[in-house]
Structure 1
Amino acid sequence: MITLSSHVLDTTKGTPAANMALCLTTPDGKQITASTDNDGRCKNWGDIEFTPGIYCIRFEAGEYLKAEHGKSFYPFVDIHFEMQEDGGHYHVPLLVSPFGYSSYRGS
């Protein structure tokens, strides 16, 4: 079974990025919209059954950063990643500030 979660942290404030809009694109092009909860986490992707393939999460960072900091260099951040049959749980965190971001495969 393949599962997916994400977590967004605002590195300028040192707090979770609550209510950031996300859009997951599946290998077959289906798009699922979601948003982070009050702890900056997202694991609710509807009733999707994940299959192996290349996915993308679009983090609508610009809207969030402008609301929180008044500016943002990045209108959005796209993170493409590949899920494999035996990959188990995938966690895709985003560390973001108005002028920088980073990500990694979490646990």
Structure 2
Amino acid sequence: MSRITVCPVGTLAEGEAVKIDGPSEAIAVFNVQGVFYATTDRCSHGNASMSEGYVEDDGTVECPLHAARFCLKTGTALCQPATEPLATYPVTVEDGTIYVEVAEAEA
């Protein structure tokens, strides 16, 4: 596993998301009432950026393109048109900085 630095905690406002580069794909990092979650940035249904989606206080995000909703904790698709889950990544906060843990990129 490797660790990607996202940003200082104070720069990702509640209810917001940021897109970062992962080793193989973009990752969306979300702040839901001070709890941070990370998923793949691309919707499993279509070519939409989840970091541009609508973050809900119940820990879900709605795709900005087709209104599919996903659980940020598990990545589970909660409604149509999406049926496949989003990949999720562990998030840690240390010394006021948000980090995402990802698998090492294969050579």
The reply to whether TM is greater than 0.5 is: no
Structure-1-length-normalised TM-score: 0.32
| Structure ranking higher on relative contact order (CA contacts 8 Å, 6+ apart) | 1
Structure-2-length-normalised TM-score: 0.32
